[in-house]
Amino acid sequence: MVPEILSDLIFDYTLRNVALGSALLGIVGGVLGSFAVLRRQGLLGDALSHTALPGIAIAFLLTNSKAPLVLMLGAAVAGWIGTLIIINLVRETRISEDSALGIVLTVFFGAGIVLLTYIQHNRGANQAGLDKFLFGQAATLVERTVLQMGAVGLVALLIVAVFYKEFKLLSFDPEFTASLGFPVRWLDVALTSLIVAAVVIGLQTVGVVLMAAMLIGPAAAARQWTNQLGVMIFLSAFFGALAGVAGSVISVQAARIPTGPMIVLCMTAIVLISILFAPARGIVWEAIRLRRARKRNLERRRTELRGEPA
């Protein structure tokens, strides 16, 4: 069974593209999601993925083209605008960050649904397929699209590598980062813009609705296994890629199972396993440690009652 799957991953054109695209999404989403999780911005990925929807619709209205690159550019512009709105709402008003994220998420997503409805009723058959960006259309990935996703992802990862120290400081202590003279506001914009890039990569694979899971899930799972940021980023990228490839293989092997939701379910399984069995933080190991501690305390008390030395 395993050799057959490996053979399909290498020689089956559709499965190879879907698996590569999903793995790229998992790696980029896992790396950038690590910073979002550490900054307690779990809702950020959800908000930015939803802001991309009106960008896709507007890009189609302006160009009348469904070319992936055109739609990805539209999504990127809308996501970046949403990023600036969120940052300025938090800085210039008394609205809290989670409230700003919720406002931007709902407003942009509502606008996107309205635009998609307008397109469906006024553009005829030419609009077919746009609605699939809600839940992804990984099965339609072609080699050119995967290469475009890889190029965007590589640029994002290179920027993370160059500014790793600054992003690390920003994630753990923004006030200390500012005291050292680093431009915290621009670093915040840069890091959030990179998350927009990850969202753009994932739109065609898992869609607007499910994209947040591929940003937060790998990082949340990795956080259970380590306290070191470098190790966390590596594990997060690995978990994201594993979920992407596993979900792609399962969806292709089992007929009529959509790839995007299957990838998210695989990611959910990895998160649950990590929460339960991670050595340092896992619920199961914590229960075992507590049971052993209670047993030692009970034995000590019995020894003290018998008057024997502990």
Residue identified by tokens 């210039």 is 92
**pTM (2 d.p.):** 0.84
Domain residues for the domain of 102 are 16-215
Q: Is residue 177 part of a domain?
A: yes
| Confidence (pLDDT) at 241 | 93
Q: What distance in Å separates the CA atoms of residue 61 and residue 119, rounded to the nearest whole number?
A: 8
Q: Is residue 93 part of a domain?
A: yes
Nearest to 49 by CA among 241, 259, 202: 202
Q: Is residue 161 part of a domain?
A: yes
| Confidence (pLDDT) at 146 | 86
Q: Is residue 34 part of a domain?
A: yes
Helix ranges, the chain (H): 2-11, 13-38, 42-63, 68-92, 97-122, 143-162, 164-172, 174-179, 184-223, 229-253, 259-277, 283-305
If one counts every other C-beta atom within 10 angstroms of the C-beta of residue 226, the result is 18
Overall number of domains in the chain = 1
Q: Is residue 299 part of a domain?
A: no
| Confidence (pLDDT) at 28 | 92
Q: What distance in Å separates the CA atoms of residue 111 and residue 117, rounded to the nearest whole number?
A: 10
| Confidence (pLDDT) at 103 | 87
Q: Is residue 109 part of a domain?
A: yes
Residue identified by tokens 């990805």 is 72
CB 172 within 8 A of CB 106: no
Question: Domain of 116: which CATH number?
Answer: 1.10.3470.10
Distance of CA 204 to the CA centre of its chain: 14
Residue identified by tokens 């070191």 is 228
| Confidence (pLDDT) at 164 | 92
Q: Is residue 127 part of a domain?
A: yes
| Confidence (pLDDT) at 234 | 95
| Confidence (pLDDT) at 61 | 86
> Which mean pLDDT values do the consecutive 10-residue runs of the chain (310 residues) have?
60 77 90 89 78 88 82 86 86 83 87 86 62 71 83 92 91 84 86 86 78 88 91 94 90 77 91 90 86 84 68
Q: Is residue 130 part of a domain?
A: yes
